[in-house]
Structure 1
Amino acid sequence: MTKLSFGAHPFLLGFDQLERLVERTAKSSNEGYPPFNIEQSSENGFRITLAVAGFREEDLSITVEDRQLVIRGKQSDDEGKRVYLHRGIAARAFQRSFVLAEGVEVAGAMIENGLLHVDLKRVVPEPRVQTIAISRGKERRNA
């Protein structure tokens, strides 16, 4: 018996891209650093909060690349300036990726008390009804 992929199901026309998004999400290596929360802030709003203690605003970048929210952090290198007797605070670079659904946009971002907040909003399109004209068989062949 052959396995029917999600995108090839006969009732799900045009959803093959969804299957690719799921595969891309599964492949993203988000290890576990930095820790993050995702919360629903309103009916059509979400907030991603990352713990970025020690990172300055200029150490962080937020981009949207092909419906994928990418948050990167890289602290400036000051290794030669300090002598650590113990170093328990992580100062490594990171990259976190989140796949955004169609219609979800980044509304803004702010850093506060060592937490980076990225606000997202879902733009809900107005429902519309489209009437499709039915033509005769001969008219269609000539077109």
Structure 2
Amino acid sequence: MSNYPDFLNATTAAPACRGVDTTLFFPPRGQDSTEAKAIFRRCPLLARCRLWALDQPVTELHGVWGGLSHVERIDLKRVQLRRWRGGPGEHHDQMVQMRANGATWSEIAKAIGSTTESVKSYWKRQRRVRRIAQEQVAA
């Protein structure tokens, strides 16, 4: 996991969190994170930050990122976290690379030792998680 997304460090980036006391984004367990989330609502990088946060392992990324608390990210990723042993989820990075290179579903399934139906089903769930995240940003 990357400790901090590179796009927030870009000189052209203007995240709303820049210059804010970072302890605000890491409230103690059970404490309200409303103030931190309010900062994200006015951030021009909200969607990008949220998608980055959702791509990180939930066990390694704590605090409020992309306007979502740790618990909210876990809830949103429940579908994404259904990575069964030997299933397509264990090969996520490989599948993304193959898909980017134009591989068909059956080629991906063969490469990871799964069925075409399982690969398609996994991919559909991944798109659903991203769509939900993007809809929440737009709301």
TM-score (norm 2): 0.26
Structure showing the higher strand proportion among its residues:
1
Structure showing the higher helix proportion among its residues:
2
Q: Say which one has the larger Rg.
A: 1
